[in-house]
Structure formats: C-alpha cells, structure tokens
Amino acid sequence: MHTVVVGTSGTTAEDVIAVARGNARIELSGEALAALARAREIVDALAAKPEPVYGVSTGFGALASRHISPELRAQLQRNIVRSHAAGMGPRVEREVVRALMFLRLKTVASGHTGVRPSVAQTMADVLNAGITPVVHEYGSLGCSGDLAPLSHCALALMGEGDAEGPDGVVRPAGELLAEAGIEPVELREKEGLALLNGTDGMLGMLVMALADLGKLYTAADITAALTLEALLGTEKVLQPELHAIRPHPGQGVSAANMAAVLKDSGLVRHFQEETAPRVQDAYSVRCAPQVAGAGRDTMAHAALVASRELAAAVDNPVVLPDGRVESNGNFHGAPVAYVLDFLAIAAADLGSIAERRTDRLLDKNRSHGLPPFLADDAGVDSGLMIAQYTQAALVSEMKRLAVPASADSIPSSAMQEDHVSMGWSAARKLRTAVDNLTRIIAIEMYAATRAIELRHGLTPAPASRAAIAAARAAGVEGPGPDRFLAPDLAAADAFVRSGALVDAVESVTGPLA
C-alpha cells in the first residue's frame, strides 16, 4: 500500500488524492514529531502562567474575554468540540472527510499548533483504520475555517459521535476506535481549538475538483474535435501560429489537443466541396480552444492558490518559531473560496459551449446534411431530441451553480466573526458542477460519435475511430431506431467519467495535455 509521510512543510495535491481516494497509509515523520513536542512545551509553559492567552486559557470567539481556570481547561476543550459539532443535512462524501482530516493533520504536524504528538498520531491512526467521521452538508461559513465539519471529526477522535467503519456501516465512533485498538484522545489546552480552525474541507474539495477538471478539460477538447469533424468543419483555426499571436497558454494547449484528434481526418474541410461552402464555422466550434483554454488558465491559477494553501499552517492562535503564540486571521477562507467560484464559472461556460455544439449537430438547418436530431427515421423516430433537453437542463443548473458563494457574507458569533468567506459552500456547489459537467460532455460525445457514423462514405480521423470503437465496446450504442435512451446516456457518462474516452484517443495520438 502507498504510504504518505507527513512532515512539517505541508503536503502535495497528489498526497491528498492518495489519502482521500486511494486510502494511502499515513506516517508522521520524525521531524514532525519533534516539532510537535517543541511547540507543545511552549503551550504548556504559557498555560502555567497567570496571564490569559487566547485559545490556551480563555474562551473562544465572542467569549474570548473570559479567563479559564486550570481545572476547567480540559472541559473547555471538550466543550468547544461538542458545541461546534453542529452540522445538519446529508452526509458529506467519504473522500471529502478523509481529505479534510488529512489536511488538518498536515497543519497539526507543522509544529505551529501546540498539539501533542500523541493527538497527531491518533489522527493518523483513525485515517489508517478506515474510520470516517460523519460530517454533514451544512454548518461551515468558511471562517474561522470549516469549524463544524472539523468539529465532527474531532468529536470522533474523542470517541464520541458517529463514524463510518471500514465496512461502510455507520456506528458510534467509540465502538469503532475500540475495535481498531485506538485510545480516544483527552484534549488539553488549545488542542480542541487547533483541531477545528482551518480551511481543510474547502481545500480538500478544491484539490479533488482540480484533479477531476483536468481530465474533463481534455475530454472536452476531444468532444469539441469530434463535433467539428461531424459538422465538416475546418481544422485550420487550430494552427499553432494563430494561437501563438494570442499567447494564453491554455488556449494553445486546447487547440493542440483538438488538432491531434483531427489528424488525417477525411471529414474536415469537406465544406469546400459543397455547393454553398462556409467561410468559417460557428463560434461554438471555432472558438472552442479559446473558451476551454481560458478554463485551463483558470485552473492553473487555482492550482497555484491550492499549492500555497497546501504549504500553509492554518490555525489561530499559532505558535511561532521564536516561541510567541499569536492570534491571527489566517483561517479566513477567501483565497480558496475565490478560486472555487472561479472554477464553477469556467465549468459552466465549458458546459454551455458544449451544449451549443450538440444542438448544432441535431438541427438539420445547421448540421450540414445530417438527419434531424440524428434520428433513424425522423418523424417516426425522435433521435437525440430529448438528450439535448437533458443536456440543456444540466447547463441551466451549471449557470445557477456559477453564482459566486464568496460574494456573500453573513455575520456570526455576536458580530465577532462579522465577515466570512462561504468557501465551504463554494466547494460544495463546485462538486455538483463538476459532476454535471461530466454528463454534459458525455452527451456531446454521444451525439458527435453518432453523427460521425452517419457521414457515410467519409473517413474519420484515426483518433476518432478509436474513440468510437471504444465507446461502442463500452456499451454506448450507435445510430439506429429509437430505443430506451437513459441506459445509453448512462453508459456514455461512465465512459467519460472513467477516463476511457481520453485513453482511447491517446492510444492513437499519444499523451494529450
């Protein structure tokens, strides 16, 4: 089994994916254990002093003015976890919970939180045992970080609340810890607060969305090329010289991907042989690299923000290298929230342009000789008419999901936390957007491959032929009379979602970006 070693200097997106989705085993480095011990000594020394220190010997948030006596401090730490574990609604996906737990451990291991090494080890043990706390959809405002989701995870470390075991069954967390031989933690000064105060949920969802979108943008370049081919369009707009004079990196990548798919096609530029040749293709075809490329560049910016956050130690207060323990605002989720919203906007536009291309394939007035709705016997058969309805409904939802969550703020904690990021909400809607985008691209692929097969007597590009053959082998049916369409669309969705579309094309073109 793959092992991820957690040190003091953050982690990588690859490690987050390995833990969240691949169940990678986690180990704490010797460097991290030493840093944890050093920081804990500082916290213990401050706890012994009569002067109040926020998070160590005081209440929290709007209650920070109260000095807490030593005999009540363990209760204080337990209470903050219990009271903040206030989520409601459906359960959050297992991979999201594993990502946020791992990322909280990443910050704890930095040595800036004052948490004891034994608590960090328990966090690793719980993840390694396949125990996943039950976290709910609603409760985080993205400031101070993802408080409620992280509180439900901390509650499980204490042996309280519910969690999912390695068998997928939800049971009391205490039972699962006992079966795994894990002792529940007894929190001491600052530890409850340190387990709750971070951007870990929204960051984990950002990392996974970037991984998924990276694959989807390549798939979208492929489906755009298939549609261009099916519409007898021209690949001349993909020439690298054209994209070099507007040097947005993503645009050039998308154009190169499309050109690779269309190499040696017998369909492109066929319009030159028509009675009324086209001068140029519609925007949804001609500008595909510009739109997808802008999305790629948005992803690059989001990945930069994610890399910075993955290297960060997010807590309040923090233990500084010189021994000071200082209050700060680093838990605010704005940097992460903004890029989550940017990605939702780009994904909505990519879905929108894909739907416009699909509609063009189905309209006999704009498809340049294809049968209406790609039907076998139009009038008797409806073909893919309602597949486009489904795609349009998905696009409409994508547009709603593109409304920025981070443009909103709602005050909390008696106006102490009077400006919040809503980053968790941005991340949750982005996950839905990515899911919907997959379906939208799958429907374009389904329509474009059928349209190419209806161009009798013309030879598609080798990469297109490979895509069509792989799709048909995967149960994505080709042209023919009307049939129960939902299973075909589900098969197309699975084909794109699994990466099989990209794999099939790359078997001919070599690696695409």
Which helix H or strand E contains 504, and what residues bound it?
helix 500-509
Q: Which two tokens stand for residue 347?
A: 């994904």
The mean pLDDT of 172-183, rounded to a whole number, is: 98
Catalytic residues: 54
pTM of the predicted model, to two decimals? 0.96
3-state secondary structure of 217: helix
Is 1 a residue whose pLDDT tops 80? no
The mean pLDDT of 396-421, rounded to a whole number, is: 93
Which residues, listed in sequence order, are joined to residue 397 by a DSSP beta bridge?
none
Question: Using one digit for the tens of pLDDT, what is the confidence trace for 220-259?
Answer: 999 999 999 999 999 999 999 999 999 999 999 999 999 9
The reported pLDDT for the residue numbered 377 is 97
The reported pLDDT for the residue numbered 274 is 55
The reported pLDDT for the residue numbered 344 is 98
The mean pLDDT of 164-188, rounded to a whole number, is: 97
Instruction: Provide the percentage of residues in the chain whose pLDDT is more than 70.
Output: 98
Residues in the chain: 513
pLDDT category at 413 given cuts 50, 70, 90 is confident
- φ, ψ (nearest 5 deg) of residue 91: -70, 145
The reported pLDDT for the residue numbered 59 is 75
Exposure of 266 by Cβ count < 10 A (0-12 exposed, 13-18 middle, 19+ buried)?
Answer: middle
Question: Using one digit for the tens of pLDDT, what is the confidence trace for 354-388?
Answer: 999 999 999 999 999 999 999 999 999 999 999 99
The reported pLDDT for the residue numbered 58 is 80
Residue type for 26, please?
A: I
Do strands 136-138 and 88-91 pair parallel, antiparallel, or not at all (unpaired)?
antiparallel
Distance (Å) of CA 50 to CA 42, 57, 58, 132, 320: 15, 9, 11, 39, 21
pLDDT category at 145 given cuts 50, 70, 90 is confident
Rounded Cα distance between 375 and 482, Å, is 8
Is 277 a residue whose pLDDT tops 70? no
CB 197 within 8 A of CB 331: yes
- φ, ψ (nearest 5 deg) of residue 240: -60, -30
The mean pLDDT of 142-159, rounded to a whole number, is: 94
The mean pLDDT of 30-56, rounded to a whole number, is: 91
Q: Which two tokens stand for residue 390?
A: 């489904």
Do strands 25-28 and 3-6 pair parallel, antiparallel, or not at all (unpaired)?
parallel
pLDDT category at 18 given cuts 50, 70, 90 is very high
Give the range among 41-50, 375-384, 503-512 with minimum mean pLDDT.
41-50
Q: Which residues contact 452 (CB under 8 A, 6 or more apart)?
A: 226, 229, 230, 267, 460, 464, 468
Per-residue b/e over 42-73, b at no fewer than 16 CB within 10 Å? bbeebbeeeeebbbbbbbbeeeeeeebeeeeb
Rounded Cα distance between 50 and 148, Å, is 31
Rounded Cα distance between 116 and 119, Å, is 6
Q: Which two tokens stand for residue 100?
A: 């946020």
Angle between the N-to-C axes of helices 288-310 and 200-230, in degrees from 0 to 180, rounded to the nearest 10: 160
